[in-house]
Amino acid sequence: MGLRRGVVVVVAAVAAALSTAAVPPPTATAPSSVVADSSATPVTADRVASATLAQATISGPPWSRLAGSDRYGSAVAISRHRYADPAAARVVYLTRGDTFADALAAGTLTDGPVLLTRPSCGALPTVVRTEIERLDPDAVVALGGTLAVCDAVLTDAAAGRPTQRIGGATRQDTAALIAARAFPGGAGTAYLTSGAITPDAVVGGMLRDGPILLTSSNGSSVPQVTIDAVAATGATRVIALGGSLAVPDAVLAQAAAGRTTSRLAGADRYATAAAIARHAYPSRTTRVYLARGDGLNFVDAVASGMLTDGPVVLTSGPCDKVRTGTAGFLKQRYPGQLVALGGTAALCDSTMRGASLAARQAINCGVTKCVALTYDDGPSTPTPTLLNTLAQQRVPATFFVVGAQVDAYPAHARRTYVEGHEVANHTWNHPDLRTLTLSAQQTQTVRTDNELNQHGIPDTQLLRPPYGAYDSNTRRLGFPLILWDVDPRDWDGPPSPATTRARVVGATTNGSIVLMHDIHNNTVLAAPGIIADLKAQGYTFVTVSELIPGLDDGDLVYRRGRVTPAGTAASPSDVIVTEDGTVLGPVVDEAGIPDLAPMLSREALLPDGR
């Protein structure tokens, strides 16, 4: 067992992307430390010949937005998407845009969009007026009483069209009236959710087989109007939306009154939304919508019930990594397209980039041709440009970050994490760990994790020892040690982008771990060509943890299929032979970090002369 354990990390933000046209790589002679590709490579269990592997590259799906300049404009954007044919909308529903009590159950209304208006009888937003004119509905219907949508605003919005109002004395009354309108012929299922303002009812709008009804506002009882509405539907089962804290078992039983009961719930609101999505859409869909759902920040989901071509799931915003329950749903469904509901103030571009990587289908590198790009010594000034390239190509990488560099460039580190890349440990200030005691080595890794934690990034789970130098104490730190089998020596000179590109592409084989350094501009400029060339060869880009899952603390990892197990004696001076017989030689990295850590010669790193 190691002395500490952590979690994986990554970072992210927003920026313009680079062109990655696939230009044939220039020729360059790979240095002796780079593994050369060979057409004579024998087939083994872990290093399958390229011809027998899945050749289709797996990357994240493209993403887009339905958004306006504010919440009113975003609801209109959703309406224009859903009702591109105006004739399909028979009515327009109008609800208050600052609080959602009267619209909690409105998602089940399918004969027209839900649009938002300002509170306190404020002027109808121009963008809403324009959308109503485009749709030219038969009627405009207010959701809620006159305190929600006043008569003057309703009349103004209708512009001479008939008006109606669906509003009771309470939000529970309004939900019952919406149920009667949405399901005039009854329904076999009734859904019950908390009467508090939570997103469970809002995302429930994607359910099409029954109305959404509400408990009391504190969730402790069922109002008589809800009991009567369940009976009026003729439902034979009642399904709770949310866990037992949202809808207690006794409250569910009271509403069901002897009918069959069940529950759609997860560990939190994000997992609950995913559970509802799975129920509403049992099969994969081409499109999945993503809306902000933390706190009371789910206004963009209020209008989403009108969407019928894919589920709506939630994550926190404005610029967080996609929540675990949501990421699991996206990976399970791997849609062809993601759509953000709302602008960047709701969900930033980095969050959507991370969602795209989360939405890749599960990858098994035993049957897929995989490569892991890894970058050391950052973050630094060139890192955002690299992140732009990865975002444009929708592929992940693993970043072995130095704690002092994270301290200097915290936004770059945060961006890497949010955008779905794997963040791993490369110590605090890049020492040769063999010169330090066990306690001092621990300080190097723990201090880096603590710095990452300050920026919302969890503890790391992988360690790359600086210079590739380790000793028996390093293997006791509680990490697998990640080395490499492809080294383009991108620091030495440094070489031109074309040379680095040629060295990487010429040396990479199925299962490779590629060592590079994102502190060098030329390395970053080589990335578009490297990705384009390897994609053309059928490679799928993965993180180290995806390439080789299930690693143990103390393992020495060179590539997929070449791992020295924890407990097996080893030294950086060892000559490494891969599973196909390729000789790597001692695996060390002489690169330093300007103004932080010196370069170390091969002679200094390998004093025995190897």
Q: Given this model, what pLDDT does residue 2 score? A: 52
**269, 199 Cβ separation under 8 angstroms:** yes
pLDDT at 28 over 50: no
Is 518 among the catalytic positions?
no
Q: Given this model, what pLDDT does residue 54 score? A: 56
Q: Given this model, what pLDDT does residue 316 score? A: 97
Amino acid at 363: I
**99, 121 Cβ separation under 8 angstroms:** no
- Residue 51 has phi, psi (to 5 degrees) of -65, -20
pLDDT at 1 over 60: no
pLDDT tens digits, one per residue of 169-214: 999 999 999 999 999 999 999 999 999 988 989 999 999 999 999 9
Residue 519, Cβ density class (10 Å: 0-12 exposed, 13-18 middle, ≥19 buried)? buried
Q: Given this model, what pLDDT does residue 53 score? A: 61
Q: Given this model, what pLDDT does residue 99 score? A: 86
**203, 264 Cβ separation under 8 angstroms:** no
Mean pLDDT for the stretch of residues 503-525: 98
Mean pLDDT for the stretch of residues 292-320: 94
DSSP 8-class letter at 11:
B
136 Cβ neighbours under 8 A, 6+ residues apart:
86
Q: Given this model, what pLDDT does residue 237 score? A: 98
What percent of the chain has pLDDT above 90?
85
Question: Which tokens hold the place of 332?
Answer: 């399970």
pLDDT at 162 over 70: yes
- Kindly give the residue spans of alpha helices, DSSP state H, lying in 394-543: 403-408, 410-418, 438-453, 497-507, 521-536
Mean pLDDT for the stretch of residues 525-536: 98
Mean pLDDT for the stretch of residues 384-407: 98
Q: Given this model, what pLDDT does residue 26 score? A: 34
Q: Given this model, what pLDDT does residue 610 score? A: 54
Regarding predicted confidence, which is higher, 337 or 49? 337
| Range from 257-271, 329-343, 571-585 carrying the lowest mean pLDDT | 571-585
Task: State the pLDDT confidence band at 496, using cuts at 50, 70 and 90.
Answer: very high
Can you give the length of the chain in residues?
610
| Range from 45-49, 267-271, 290-294, 470-474 carrying the lowest mean pLDDT | 45-49
Question: Which tokens hold the place of 249?
Answer: 């078992």
304 Cβ neighbours under 8 A, 6+ residues apart:
78, 107, 202, 203, 205, 206, 289, 291, 312, 341
Alpha carbon dihedral 297, 300, 306, 308, in 10-degree steps, equals -90
Q: How many Cα atoms occupy the beta-carbon half-sphere of 56 within 13 Å?
A: 6
Q: Given this model, what pLDDT does residue 609 score? A: 53
Catalytic hit among 173, 320, 376, 377: 376
pLDDT tens digits, one per residue of 208-264: 999 999 999 999 999 999 999 999 999 999 999 999 999 999 999 999 999 999 999
d(CA 239, CA 221): 16
Domain ranges of the chain: 64-358, 363-605
Return the percent helix, strand and coil in the chain, to nearest 5: 35, 15, 50
Q: Given this model, what pLDDT does residue 55 score? A: 64
Q: Given this model, what pLDDT does residue 49 score? A: 40
Task: State the pLDDT confidence band at 100, using cuts at 50, 70 and 90.
Answer: confident
For 85-89, the CB contacts below 8 A with 24+ separation are: 86/134, 86/135, 86/136, 89/113, 89/135, 89/137
Mean pLDDT across the chain:
91
d(CA 574, CA 448): 28
d(CA 119, CA 96): 6
**77, 68 Cβ separation under 8 angstroms:** yes
Q: Which residues pair with 541 in a beta bridge?
A: 371
| Range from 36-50, 61-75, 85-99 carrying the lowest mean pLDDT | 36-50
Closest to 599 (Cα-Cα) out of 497, 494, 475: 494
Q: Given this model, what pLDDT does residue 104 score? A: 87
**466, 426 Cβ separation under 8 angstroms:** yes
Mean pLDDT for the stretch of residues 477-496: 97
**593, 491 Cβ separation under 8 angstroms:** no
20 Cβ neighbours under 8 A, 6+ residues apart:
389, 392, 393, 528, 529, 531, 532
Is 349 among the catalytic positions?
no
Edge-to-edge strand list for the sheet holding 114-117: 114-117, 91-96, 139-143, 163-166
Task: State the pLDDT confidence band at 45, using cuts at 50, 70 and 90.
Answer: very low
The 3-state DSSP class for residue 362 equals coil
d(CA 252, CA 192): 7
Closest to 24 (Cα-Cα) out of 508, 419, 515, 533: 533
pLDDT at 32 over 60: no
| Range from 140-149, 294-303, 330-339, 494-503 carrying the lowest mean pLDDT | 294-303
419 Cβ neighbours under 8 A, 6+ residues apart:
10, 11, 12, 13, 350, 353, 354, 357, 387, 390, 391
Catalytic hit among 517, 533, 553, 589: 517
CATH number of 363-605: 3.20.20.370
